Amino acid sequence: MKSVADLGDLQGKRVLIRCDMNVPLDGAETSPDSVRTITDDGRIRASLPTLNQLREAGAKVIILAHLGRPKGAPEAKYSLAPAAQRLSELLGAEVRLATDTVGPSATETVAALADGDVAMLENVRFEPGETSKDESERAALADRYAALGDVFVSDGFGVVHRKQASVYELAKRLPSAAGSLVENEVEVLKRLTQDPARPYVVVLGGAKVSDKLAVIANLIKTADTLVIGGGMLFTFLAAQGYPVGKSLLEADQIEAVKGYLNEAASGGKQIVLPSDIVVAPEFKADSPATVVAADAIPDDELGLDIGPESAKVFASVVAGAKTVFWNGPMGVAEWEAFAGGTKAVAQALTEVDGLSVVGGGDSAAAVRHLGFADDDFGHISTGGGASLEYLEGKTLPGVAVLEEGEGA
């Protein structure tokens, strides 16, 4: 896989770079006219090393990125304007935002760039061809992207698990390389999957066990211990015959979970589940919280976090590991009454004598919300979905195309 340095002299070259600017916004889902504030700029900050490297090389930098899930047409609430503004602040230089992706504004914006300048094209998902299942539609859009640049740099790790026009097809059309963010992410994932230092502990949370079934199946073979929290834990409790009250439950996954519990036991692997749960009568931030045994959740309550005793056990297991991967909060971490489990796990990760990896997405947002700094951890991934697919053993198309060196 080529790096930016392998692209040669970039002075005056138009460099198309796929970044991940898909940041959470307050108000983004309510009204196109609502005031939108970036609540976690971690992904934007993660893009800075490669962008600065390109600027210092004298390249004309053209950012391709997405935000949210528009349906292949422009939607004001998904404009990249907030990302362009924040990036301008972080770079200390204007980032010009084109009002379209491959139209007249994009062409004019690119043509006006001087060496070292940065522009951002509007949300690539405003183009139906970007995420089309039809390869020919993606290819046609990639041709239009390629006409705007001389070389391509892939630095949006959060999308490399997708065959999308600005990720996969574009890499086939121009001389291509991985940015430092993608290089670092892949290197960390290799450390997690190729002879990891042991004990190797994986902490999984989040809402649905169905989202994690494939990764659980693979990690039972490679990790020493799986620690289970978040909404998905209640399907594990139900699989053991425990009542879960009004808690989130995927009844159709109970048999699959039983299979994993049996497989772990027979393979000498440990699955750690909570012994106590923080419950409340309603899914509200100010709903009165109480602690109950994990096998005694009342019928009229729902679990919103692991309990204090479980938090201590989880933290002890994590802190004693040499390699830790964590994906998914332990509870509703944005609400103070139900953030204790997540905070305990995060604190334990900062104490790991080895490699500690926060697996992107909600986990990354949670640790920042709770006051932890990025450098408190060995690595914070910018792509939760991509990380999980890699740990499942899947090929990431956006990485494979770079490794194959198919660029023109």
Does residue 328 carry a catalytic annotation?
no
Which residue of the set 231, 384, 385, 398 is catalytic?
A: 385
Q: Is 361 annotated as a binding residue?
A: yes
Alpha-carbon distance 327 to 142, whole Å? Answer: 32
Alpha-carbon distance 281 to 263, whole Å? Answer: 35
Alpha-carbon distance 3 to 178, whole Å? Answer: 5
Alpha-carbon distance 197 to 354, whole Å? Answer: 8
Q: Is 125 annotated as a binding residue?
A: yes
Q: Which residues neighbour 320 within 8 Å (Cβ) at sequence distance 6 or greater?
A: 199
Q: Is 22 annotated as a binding residue?
A: yes
Q: At which residue do the structure tokens 């139209």 appear?
A: 103
Q: Is 68 annotated as a binding residue?
A: yes
Does residue 361 carry a catalytic annotation?
yes
Which residue of the set 18, 36, 43, 343 is catalytic?
A: 43
Alpha-carbon distance 65 to 118, whole Å? Answer: 13
Largest CA distance in the chain: 67
Q: Is 191 annotated as a binding residue?
A: no
| Separation of CA 137 from chain center | 26
Residue 151's DSSP bridge partners are: 15
Q: Is 362 annotated as a binding residue?
A: yes
Does residue 96 carry a catalytic annotation?
no
Rounded to 5°, the CA angle 78-84-85 comes to 110
Tell me the torsion sign for CA atoms 63, 68, 71, 73: negative
Does residue 43 carry a catalytic annotation?
yes
Which residue of the set 229, 361, 398, 407 is catalytic?
A: 361
- Report whether 177 contacts 2 (CB < 8 A): yes
Which residue of the set 208, 258, 269, 322 is catalytic?
A: 208
Q: Is 79 annotated as a binding residue?
A: no
Q: Is 29 annotated as a binding residue?
A: no
For β-strands 302-306 and 151-154, DSSP reports them as: unpaired
- Report whether 113 contacts 119 (CB < 8 A): yes
In whole angstroms, how far apart are CA 92 and each of 52, 85, 155? 11, 10, 20
Q: Is 212 annotated as a binding residue?
A: yes
Cis before 32? omega within 30: no
Q: Which residues does the annotation place in the binding site? A: 20-22, 43, 66-69, 125, 162, 212, 303, 334, 360-363
Query: Catalytic residue positions?
Result: 43, 208, 361, 385
User: Which residues are annotated binding-site positions for ATP?
Assistant: 212, 303, 334, 360-363
| Binding-site residue ranges for substrate | 20-22, 43, 66-69, 125, 162
